Structure 1
């Protein structure tokens, strides 16, 4: 197991250039290149010096008392990923983020290797939606009266975190990082009060879409998504969104805007040893 030097991360990123809808590919690695340059604790591990041939990697982002784990491979065989996980130890609580269905078995074998029962493992599913660039040009970007759109400021992080269903002792730091280092959008009233928001996750997908209850049914969620789609597309990246399986309201919103369901990905929380 080897840690790739940071000056090699762009080479790994570029191996995934051909599929920008891959949420654990190009845009994910590029996001963490930026985070590492800002002092974040990020490491990328491979099995051997032949990694440019198979592109197998394990990306670990540690913050607070937990870590986020991202993994992928360009090869058909999962042996390299299995070898990576079997030779890697992390005692703090960690989260496997956004892995494809074909990697479920790899996560399960890692889980068993830690002496845990598969009955305790939950593969939490998420839908991946995609909006092609050709569709973005057709979006109605007309404003809503008395509403101004703009990027979020670090001062808004606490409000975003407080309304996030996955809020935890460590999540505020994550939200602050997303606002500081990625595209975001806020809907503000004429007095500058924040009414709703949308972030872009480390994966590159739309996330944390939320409108405060008193201001719903005005089209603010749709406006935020359309604004974010335009901003992301301007960077050359694909516009993607992740939605938990049972969130029917969000699914209807994204369907109406022209997004298409392209994939399912999964998340798993591993308790501290």
Structure 2
């Protein structure tokens, strides 16, 4: 709806607006039937923008702006709005509420530089490689490693993985049945130490990284009646299911966790990806048995 009525829409606008709505604060005005009458978004730059209404001269815009500004202020934010210089009605609305102009800027679109391996190389050379990184290699692995060599970046570990894929439509069909005495739920930051201690690929900083994934990303844990952790799976920084683990083998805990987590992610609108070490035959068999298909080979490097 917002995209269809936005005068500055272009290819990809609906995707961008949907992402802003999912991830950022927003404000809408609705009638009794739930129909959208007015809206305002918080842009990726932190500015109030994309103010719109279904009908003009009803006071909807002012109401939305006031409510949204108060909501953002209650979150501890100062308020900024970006308005086209020729948009006199919006400038008058915001000014009437006490907003003051602070600076003039330009928004630019459609500035395009054709992709080439040279642009990728230049981008890699801009990264501060003094920090520690975990990266998933792509089809340009040779170029990346050549750049590392030029910059004297040492690659500590390279592990070959197979990436598996399952469409969300298939995951939504999973029938997840939890045995008596067990329950499924999201992990807590305190579980990071248990997971790290049992993770065969742990290294310095692993507990911090795992705790951060648990805090910020979806996760799935299997627990007994006392709340003890029996199995888990994380959503990694690369957007794939990973770090699957269980306390006891051959109990079916891993399969249960994967099915529940895949269904949870599918209900969030996500297709499913999993990255599995090429030598990890049990995990490959588990995911393959649930309908995941191998789609590419990749390397994780540290």
TM-score norm. by structure 2 comes to 0.60
Q: 2:175 matched to which residue of 1?
A: 140
Distance 1:173 1:121 in 2: 19
Q: 1:85 matched to which residue of 2?
A: 124
More strand, by proportion:
1
Residue 150, structure 1, aligned to residue 185, structure 2? yes
Cα distance change of structure 1 residues 116 and 189 upon mapping to structure 2, 3 Å threshold: closer
Larger radius of gyration: 2
Residue 161, structure 1, aligned to residue 161, structure 2? no
Shift of 1:241: 0.7
Can you give the 5+ residue segments of structure 1 that lack an aligned partner in the other structure? 1-13, 19-25, 31-36, 38-48, 56-74
Deviant stretches of 4+, over 3 Å: 49-55, 92-95, 120-123
User: 205, 222, 230: which is aligned to 1:170?
Assistant: 205
User: 132, 137, 147: which is aligned to 1:99?
Assistant: 137
Native 8 Å contact 1:196 1:220 kept in 2: yes
Q: Any idea what SS the aligned residue of 1:107 has?
A: helix
Shift of 1:239: 1.0
Residue 218, structure 1, aligned to residue 251, structure 2? yes
Superposed CA RMSD in Å reads 2.9
Cα deviation 1:148-172 (Å, max 9, x = unaligned): 0011111111101111122122111
Q: 1:254 matched to which residue of 2?
A: 287
Aligned ranges 1:2-17 → 2 under 5 Å: none
Residue 245, structure 1, aligned to residue 245, structure 2? no
Distance 1:223 1:185 in 2: 10
Native 8 Å contact 1:128 1:264 kept in 2: yes
Aligned ranges 1:52-63 → 2 under 5 Å: 53=112
Distance 2:296 2:156 in 1: 21
The answer to which structure, 1 or 2, has the higher relative contact order (CA under 8 A, 6+ apart) is: 1
Distance 1:104 1:124 in 2: 13
Q: Any idea what SS the aligned residue of 1:94 has?
A: coil
Can you give the 5+ residue segments of structure 2 that lack an aligned partner in the other structure? 1-11, 24-45, 47-107
Shift of 1:52: 6.2
Question: Which is further off, 139-148 or 237-246?
Answer: 139-148
